[in-house]
Amino acid sequence: MIGVGIIGCGLIGNKRARALGANAKLIGCADIDIQRAKSLAKNDAKVFENWRDLLAMPEIDMVIVATLHDSLAEITLEAANQGKHVFVEKPAARCASELEQLIYTLKDKNIKIHVGFNHRYHKAMLKAKKIIDSGALGELMFVRARYGHGGRLGYDREWRANPELSGGGELKDQGPHLVDLSRWFLGEEFEDIAGSAHTYYWDMPVDDNGFMLLKTATKKTAFLHASCTEWKNLFSMEIYGRDGKLDINGLGGSYGVERLTWYRMLPEMGPPETTCWEYPMADDSWAVELAEFCDDITKDRKSSCDLSDAYESLKIIEKIYKESDYDHCS
């Protein structure tokens, strides 16, 4: 049984707690708002206001770090130094420079660290990855994706609008998912980085829209748009190969039913052969991802989403920020 501590007991911390499987047990909860920690712990776990007190518990084997961006890297480092395996939410740090230092400091430690890119674990994403890896799409050419929500009243007064806490706006919030999925599907690193970030609507010093045009050394390309002026929540990602196309829409809930459509090109061209899968059931990506990381720990294997994945995403985003005069990390 893996003993788990959760630091940061808000919305995401609660989602992670509900996703713990049969081989993991919640031992401790920490939050600067002690009532939130008590609410998550109920009567089953110890409660702390100071996260360092939680790390001192020898019964805890793994720590889930679900705080604001400004403390993700600090807590991850301290937890690893105390011999805890770490599951840290994306983007894993406020700035790429924090991750660079973290990766260097922890490179020789026998500690498992997983970054919470849970979108990889949605059913449509896993099915799409299986099709791509089979070679059925042929040589991949490009990805086109949009990810957006409409915010809510007072959104520009929440912590995400404060660059000292968030490190940036929409590109730092939903942008990392788009970059990570594109890298994962295409299987290559982006070398040519272009794009822009801008605040069109919300009264805040961070961006509410970000646009990315990314190219690999072999000219595989990703056109990506992250937005909090979408008004109607939207997720759309298309992966184009020489022999077909995959179209992923929805993430469940307010983003609509999760759906994957496979368009197979025919030798005679014309309308493609089409197959569609729908996943109307509840989103289990949180549980699938945590179960994989628990297996990584017990089987002593490398995590599939580690700090290097988070670093590559933040490095790309911060280059676009600098070119758009939204540099909050220098």
Tell me the pLDDT tens digit for each residue of 177-213. 999 999 999 999 999 999 999 999 999 999 999 999 9
Residues 313, 318, 323: CA angle, nearest 5 degrees: 135
CATH numeric code, 2-118+287-305? 3.40.50.720
> How would residue 109 be classed by pLDDT, with cut points 50, 70 and 90?
confident
CATH numeric code, 119-282+313-323? 3.30.360.10
Q: Is the dihedral of CA 149, 152, 157, 158 positive or negative?
A: negative
For the segment 114-129, what is each residue's pLDDT rounded down to a tens digit?
999 999 999 999 999 9
Q: Do domains 2-118+287-305 and 119-282+313-323 have the same CATH topology?
A: no
For the segment 54-108, what is each residue's pLDDT rounded down to a tens digit?
999 999 999 999 999 999 999 999 999 999 999 999 999 999 999 998 998 888 8
Rounded mean pLDDT of the chain? 94
Q: What is the pLDDT of residue 110?
A: 87
Report d(CA 45, CA 17) in Å as an integer. Answer: 11
Reduced to 3 states (helix: H, G, I; strand: E, B; else coil), residue 218 is coil
For the segment 165-175, what is each residue's pLDDT rounded down to a tens digit?
999 999 999 99
Report d(CA 86, CA 83) in Å as an integer. Answer: 9
> How would residue 330 be classed by pLDDT, with cut points 50, 70 and 90?
confident
For the segment 9-44, what is each residue's pLDDT rounded down to a tens digit?
999 999 999 999 888 999 999 999 999 999 999 878
Q: What is the pLDDT of residue 211?
A: 98
Q: What is the pLDDT of residue 108?
A: 83
Q: What is the pLDDT of residue 44?
A: 82
Q: What is the pLDDT of residue 48?
A: 94
C-alpha distances out from residue 270 to 28, 238, 267, Å:
59, 19, 9
Locate the DSSP E strands across 190-289: 190-198, 209-216, 221-227, 234-241, 244-249, 258-264, 273-279
Report d(CA 282, CA 19) in Å as an integer. Answer: 12
pTM (2 d.p.): 0.95
Report d(CA 135, CA 159) in Å as an integer. Answer: 43
Please count the other Cβ atoms lying within 10 Å of the Cβ belonging to residue 152: 8
Domain boundaries, the chain: 2-118+287-305, 119-282+313-323
Residues 240, 244, 249: CA angle, nearest 5 degrees: 60
- Secondary structure of 53-70 in the HEC alphabet? HHHCCCCCCEEEECCCHH
Percent of the chain with pLDDT over 90: 88
